[in-house]
Amino acid sequence: MATVYTDDLQKLFIEFMITDSELFVRTRNIISPTYFSKKYFDTVEMLIDHADKYKTLPTIDQVKAKCEIDLTPVPNLDEAQKDWFLDEFETFCRHKALEKAIIESADLLERSEYGTVEDKIKQAVRIGLTKDLGIDYFEDPRARLMRLKDSNGQVSTGWKSLDKKLYGGFNRGELNIFAGSSGAGKSLFLQNIAMNFLELGQNVIYFTFELSEELSAMRVDSMTTGVPTNEIFKKIDEVELAVKLKRQKQGGSFQIKYMPSGSNTNDIRSYVKEFTIQKGVAPDVVLVDYLDLMFPVNKKISPTDMFIKDKFVSEELRNFAVEQQIVLVTASQLNRGAIEEVEYDQSHIAGGISKINTADNLIGIFTSRAMRERGRYQIQLIKTRSSGGVGSKIDLAFDVDKLRITDLDEDDEGVNIMPASGESIAQTLTKRTSTVTNKTPASAVAEKTEMAKGLRDLLKAQSQQFED
């Protein structure tokens, strides 16, 4: 039989809290005056305000004087009665929150804001007392470590060099941001990591906020087949066959969805739910291209107020990653101060500290058109929660025809294509050419020739970076 929350029962709840203030403390995270009838709204509001201001509950006399409500302490209050109160009050708050959410959803449904309705309902259902106390660090460390080992929460990035710095890869429930300046190839980078995840058997959804679904897919065609984008239409049969064969080999799925600029996390959440229902599979990885083009849910914010906007969007995306237990990867813009830098830090992120605080991993992209033509990308770990690699730079190989970013060959590892922080191009060249002094004349000439070519490429790359 369903409980009817009469005024008498609501009064009894208040009397339990007045009798034992610890009960109020334990329920503080879920209590709200709006859950109570009009008769007791002011009384509950007084309890909350008084406790917040004076760190104690008001007396029965104080409640009577201010709210004209007669309360009676609960006699012989024991542990069994306290347990009854906690169970009943938790259910009361959850039911009232759900009732409130349903009423508020009527107007939202008329405006077809289904994502917001779903979010309100979920929040109401999740209302509950804090009963899970987390992990007792000293109790059974072996079991704790084995649970972590067997959780399969970590997903490789597909680049061994990056995995090594991240102690294995990205974790589910994390927000990972790749930051780059305009023209740095942020979309291309996200498309590449999407391919990496797919090749590892993950189910991937890629949201594009700029390029159309078809153009994004055509880039992936080049990555899949090795056919340059300017030749794809000439080799449609070859591309079609290669894509179909790849599908047979891959264990995961890959969905590309265009979202208009200004979409929010609820739009993504609704799509993911529909995808899961129709496809019968939940995504492992969601890529958002990119964060700066999104708006927060139910927040009226000026498009120019980047700090506030990005703060809410970042938090919502991370909460979504935790909620769905997925790996979430997105991109963000660097500010103008980063254009002439050879090393990034947190001050170079557009929108500032809001995104930085929320992100689990923040990775800068160093590149230019000239660098990509030479077959290189470079990334730098700006922030990580799970490794000590902050500041580390990683060189990656780039195939300009296939548009594919991969780990460097072992012979190429350690060859830096950018000057170190605070180092001039001339100093970089001096370090590189100093190794030829002990060579044979012929080999020395050949290496000097190569170094001269390297200098020209380096200068070109630097110049192009400023242009981009």
Q: For the chain, which residues make up each domain, given as ranges? A: 7-125, 150-407, 425-467
Residue 148 has what pLDDT? 59
Residue 449 has what pLDDT? 53
pLDDT digits (tens, 9 = 90+) for 131-190: 766 667 677 878 776 765 555 567 888 899 998 888 888 988 889 999 887 777 888 889
Residue 348 has what pLDDT? 47
Q: How far apart are CA 230 and CA 246, in angstroms?
A: 21
Q: Which amino acid is at 116?
A: T
Residue 460 has what pLDDT? 53
Could you tell me where the DSSP H helices lie in 228-332? 236-249, 265-279, 306-324
Helix (H) or strand (E) holding 378: strand 376-384
Q: How far apart are CA 317 and CA 288, in angstroms?
A: 9
Residue 302 has what pLDDT? 63
43-68: average pLDDT: 94
58-63: average pLDDT: 96
Task: Return the residue matching tokens 């334990």.
Answer: 26
Residue 418 has what pLDDT? 47
> For the ranges 205-219, 341-355, 422-436, which has the lowest average pLDDT?
422-436
- Closest alpha carbon to 48 in 73, 29, 61: 29
Residue 275 has what pLDDT? 87
Contact 266, 112 (CB under 8 A): no
pLDDT digits (tens, 9 = 90+) for 371-401: 777 888 888 888 887 666 788 888 899 888 8
Q: How far apart are CA 195 and CA 204, in angstroms?
A: 9
Specify the fold of 150-407.
Rossmann fold (3.40.50)
- The rounded mean pLDDT for the chain is 80
Between 403 and 448, name the one with better pLDDT: 403
Q: Positive or negative CA dihedral for 349, 323, 152, 277?
A: negative
Give 18's contacts (C-beta < 8 A, 6+ positions apart).
Answer: 47, 57, 60, 63, 71, 73
197-208: average pLDDT: 91
* Percentage of the residues of the chain whose pLDDT score is greater than 90: 28
Q: Which of 184-193, 241-250, 360-369 is the most confident on average?
A: 184-193
Residue 439 has what pLDDT? 45
Could you tell me where the DSSP H helices lie in 410-468? 425-433, 441-467
Between 299 and 84, name the one with better pLDDT: 84
